[in-house]
Amino acid sequence: MDARARVHGGRVTGDLLEAIFGDAVGPGARLSIFALPSRTTRRFESVAEAARHVRARHDDEDVYFGLGLVAGDPLGRGTANDVAGIGCLWADLDIAGFAHEGKALPPTLDDAIALVRSMPMAPSAVVDSGHGLHAYWLLSEFWRFDDERDRQRAAALARGWHGLVCASAAAKGWTAVENLGDLARVLRVPSTVNRKVVGAPTAVRLLELDPSRRYHIDDLESFIAATPTCMPQACSHACGLMLRPEASPPAEKLAAALTESPRFAAAFRGTLDDIADVSRSGQDLSLATIAALRGWSDQEIADAIVSARRASGDNPAKALRGDYIARTLALARAAAMERAADDVDLSGFVGTTPREPDLAARLCTSPPWRSVRQLMSDHPELRPSVIHGLLRAGETMNIIAPSKTGKSWLVNNLAICVAAGRDWLDRYATEQGRVLIIDNELHGETSANRIPKVAKTMGIPLGDFADTLDVWNLRGGLTDLFTLTPVLEAIEAGRYRVIVLDAWYRFMPEGKDENDNGTMANLYNRLDKVAATLGCSFVLIHHSTKGNQSGKSVTDVGAGAGAQSRATDTHLVLREHEESGCVVLDAAVRSWPPIEPVILRWNFPLWSIDDSLDPTNLKRATPRRDRTAKRIEQPAMPKPDPWTPERFVTRFISERPRLRDEILLDAASEPSLSQATAKGLLRIAEERKRIFRWSDGPHAPTRFATVEQPLIDVGVRP
């Protein structure tokens, strides 16, 4: 067999990595292996070690390698600034098909191979990525960066070379090929499996590899000297606009358009589907036309296109091209002269939009309701669990407590548990998944200090969640929920299992009132739509009403309109216990059986369950008119002696074995001892070896005594 055309299998996993990196991998330049859906990153100091890791992971995950070796130990995949050097240039092309419908891409794998072979230099390696093609051009030697100037030069070369591939594709009409030439890029490892399409796994195959086909940096640079870079640029003088990658239109105008025009919102997200051209360019034209009809300036429209492409991640560099923006604006202005804002054929000029059929006719043919039989057929099971007993996928959960109680610490605990797949409070099992905390109260430095501190106290290594817990600090840049919605909806569906909003009241739009039921119902409805789009759950951190909460029902504890407790699926509250430093956790749940209240005790920086206290002993309010009289007239009543495990054992258990139910029934006669407390004391006494279990067989009831059960029951000897 020709050594330049290796077959899939055997040492293929390491062949390509060895050809790219060789001996350059080491302590100061490590090879990164990234996996989905776990979103974990591991770094290795040898190709062989990385290849062994890939072979162990590829059966159940999508596996990628970093094209740049990484210096240090950055969180996650790292950035271009963490790259210590590269050993090749590359091109990453998608191929038309069911995984990339409606895009102008190479029709077949053979077309993509012919495209990369037509480049000025033939590729050294070609990989079938499952639904696309990866091509590599090996460098004559590994390019280790000596300084920032080297890194910038390499970044320009990588992006310029990939841009040359994009230009060749565009010349053939394949305009949807994107420039993915950034130094932090990861590509699939050969001999693994592409699971992008659910239920249709596809092999990642190394089609060609010629390790001897290598190119010098100077030779490659000579072909891209005239290639335009994708940097911010100004339009022509005729256009007079400034295009900036971080641009956004005025927040108030954007929020109004997103709220008032469903078609504008769909075009911004890139989901408008009743237009002739459903590509991102068609969406841009739709967006621009509606914005023009709403009276937006050219600069505001250009900023909206930049913002929309940035949010969707769909070739954001294209929005920075002056010729593209000028052409889009011209078409949009022409269309806006003849059409009304919400009745525009948003792809341009494709005829008159058909009228909606009569409402009565539509209700006869396709009513929005279903029979119970159809409903049960469509939804045979409840939604998947996220926090067992409390929260399911797509649901919202309020966490309500008085100000300065430590709600954020509790939610940090929750977020870490979900991100790491641990039980929350050692009681509520979680389903592991990525978590995003959007925090508008803490500085980034505070979050960076708190989260590792909580994890360390919990005994959870940072590596178990550092890549699956994201934090977005908004302090100093508050953003209301309506403005935030398009950003959230642009997140890849399924990326997050839970999104935390802390604190909920600070996401309120300006001028709105949390005591208004209509406002709050609208906000929760917006969250429900985002949750359905992303397939995630929301956890909202909110404050309780002022004063003592002991006499209120769970659903009345939160501040603001009553719609908050009715709109959410789980209303979890913390109320003060009579014991200092303790609260009672209780909840009203919609899709779970009722939960038993539990006591949480605060030991900085953690809340933890304390089963030794009675959750019914909430801290009670003292009527104002009675306080002075109590201090003057009534002597303080002595408190009963506290129940300890030792006192419990002395009072109810002896050397003679007793049934558990018998012990608890006896304990019920004590007015100061609740059943919950008795059960907790019994468990603690056993853990401390103050009592021991006796068993007479697998089906016999459990008994307890203060002495261990003998191996032979001496009482039945002859």
d(C-alpha 230, C-alpha 248), whole Å: 18
pLDDT tens-digit map of 379-397: 888 999 999 999 999 999 9
User: In DSSP terms, which residues pair with 582 in a beta bridge?
Assistant: 601
Residue among 475, 481, 454, 478 nearest 465 (CA) = 454
Q: Which two tokens stand for residue 554?
A: 């769970």
Q: How far apart are CA 237 and CA 9, in angstroms?
A: 57
Mean pLDDT, to the nearest integer, of 702-707? 91
CA-based nearest residue to 399, from 595, 539, 254, 195: 539
Helices and strands in the chain, H and E counts: 21, 26
Span 149-164, mean pLDDT? 88
Per-residue pLDDT, 343: 38
Alpha-carbon distance 498 to 387, whole Å?
10
- The full DSSP string for 451-469 is HHHHHHHHT--GGGTTTTE
Contacts of 551 (CB under 8 A, 6+ apart): 621
Q: What is the dihedral of CA 159, 165, 170, 176, to 10 degrees?
A: -60
Tell me: the pLDDT tens digits for 286-300? 999 898 888 888 888
CATH superfamily for 385-609 is P-loop containing nucleotide triphosphate hydrolases (3.40.50.300)
Q: For residue 334, is pLDDT > 80?
A: no
Q: How many residues does the chain have?
A: 718
- State the CB neighbour count (10 A cutoff) for residue 430: 24
Residue 244 structure tokens: 């900036």
Q: What share of the chain is helix, strand, coil (3-state, %, to 5)?
A: 35, 20, 45
pLDDT score for 5: 37
**Burial of residue 337, with CB atoms counted within 10 A of its CB: 0-12 exposed, 13-18 middle, 19 or more buried:** exposed
pLDDT digits (tens, 9 = 90+) for 212-246: 999 999 888 877 744 433 333 333 333 457 778 88
Instruction: Report d(CA 367, CA 221) in Å as an integer.
Output: 62
Is the predicted pLDDT of residue 716 greater than 60, yes or no?
Answer: no
Reference 496, options 470, 524, 457, 472; nearest CA is 470
Crossing angle (nearest 10°) for helices 481-489 and 517-534: 10
pLDDT of residue 352: 35
Q: What is the pLDDT of residue 470?
A: 96
Domain 12-221: top CATH class: alpha beta
- What percent of the chain shows pLDDT beyond 90? 39
| Rounded Cα–Cα distance for residues 374 and 285 (Å) | 40
Burial class of 372 by CB neighbour count within 10 A (0 to 12, 13 to 18, 19+): exposed
Q: What is the pLDDT of residue 483?
A: 79
Q: What is the pLDDT of residue 322?
A: 77
Structure tokens at 161: 């070379």
Extract the tokens encoding 706.
């203060």
pLDDT band at 424 (very low <50, low <70, confident <90, very high): very high
Tokens 């007015």 found at: 671
pLDDT at 366 over 70: no
Is the separation of the CB atoms in 645 and 684 below 8 Å?
yes
Point out the least confidently predicted range of 195-204, 211-220, 625-634. 625-634
Q: How far apart (Å, rounded) are the C-alpha atoms in residues 302 and 322?
A: 10
Q: Which residue has the tokens 């804002």?
A: 341
The residue ranges of DSSP E strands in 372-497, in sequence order, are 385-387, 391-392, 396-401, 435-439, 469-473
Helix (H, G, I), strand (E, B) or coil at 470: strand
Cis peptide before 211 (omega within 30 of 0): no
- pLDDT tens digit string along 3-59? 333 333 334 668 999 999 998 999 889 999 988 877 788 899 999 999 988 887 666
pLDDT score of 388? 95
- Interatomic CA distance for residues 543 and 572, integer angstroms: 11
Chain centroid to CA 709: 52
**Residue 655 φ then ψ, to 5°:** -70, -20
Cα–Cα distance, 306 to 287 (Å, whole number): 11
3-state SS record for 483-503: HHHHHHHCCCCCCCCEEEEEC
Within 10 A of 170 (CB to CB), how many other CB atoms are there? 13
pLDDT at 638 (0 to 100): 65
- Chain region(s) in the chain for CATH 1.10.10: 645-716
Query: Taking a C-beta distance cutoff of 8 angstroms, is the pair 65, 18 a contact?
Result: no
Name the one residue in this structure whose structure tokens are 């360390």.
Answer: 456
CA–CA gap between residue 348 and residue 335 (Å, rounded): 7
Q: Is the pLDDT of residue 595 over 50?
A: yes
Q: What is the Cα–Cα distance from 38 to 118, expressed in whole angstroms?
A: 37
The most confident of 9-18, 429-438, 544-553, 692-701, by mean pLDDT? 429-438
Each residue of 460-501: pLDDT tens digit? 999 999 999 999 998 888 778 877 888 888 888 889 999 999
**645-716, what's its fold?**
Arc Repressor Mutant, subunit A (1.10.10)
Residues whose CB falls within 8 Å of the CB of residue 570, separated by 6 or more in sequence, listed in order: 390, 391, 395, 396, 397, 398, 587, 588, 589, 590, 592
Beta pairing, strands 582-589 & 570-576: antiparallel
* The pLDDT value given to residue 368: 78
- Residue 598, pLDDT above cutoff 50: yes
Q: DSSP per residue over 324-387, as a string?
A: HHHHHHHHHHHHHTTS-TTS--TTSS--PPPPPPPHHHHHHHS-S---HHHHHHH--SPPPEEE
Mark 226-259 as b/e (b = at least 16 C-beta within 10 Å). ebeebeebebeeebebebeeebbbeeebbbebbb
The chain-wide mean pLDDT, for the chain, equals 82
* Cis amide bond preceding 360, omega within 30: no
Q: Which two tokens stand for residue 340?
A: 């009304």
Least confident of 132-136, 302-306, 317-321, 443-447: 317-321
Return the residue matching tokens 């060609």. Answer: 208
Residue 428 is predicted with a pLDDT of 94
Give DSSP secondary structure letters for 33-71. EEEETTTEEEEESSHHHHHHHHHHHTTTSEEEEESEEE-
Average pLDDT over residues 606-622: 85
Comparison of pLDDT for 468 and 640, the residue scoring more: 468
Neighbour count for residue 686 (Cβ, 10 Å): 15
- For residue 705 the two structure tokens come to 């005594």
3-state class (DSSP) for residue 30? strand
- Order of strands across the sheet that contains 186-188: 40-44, 31-36, 62-66, 186-188
pLDDT digits (tens, 9 = 90+) for 82-92: 899 999 999 99
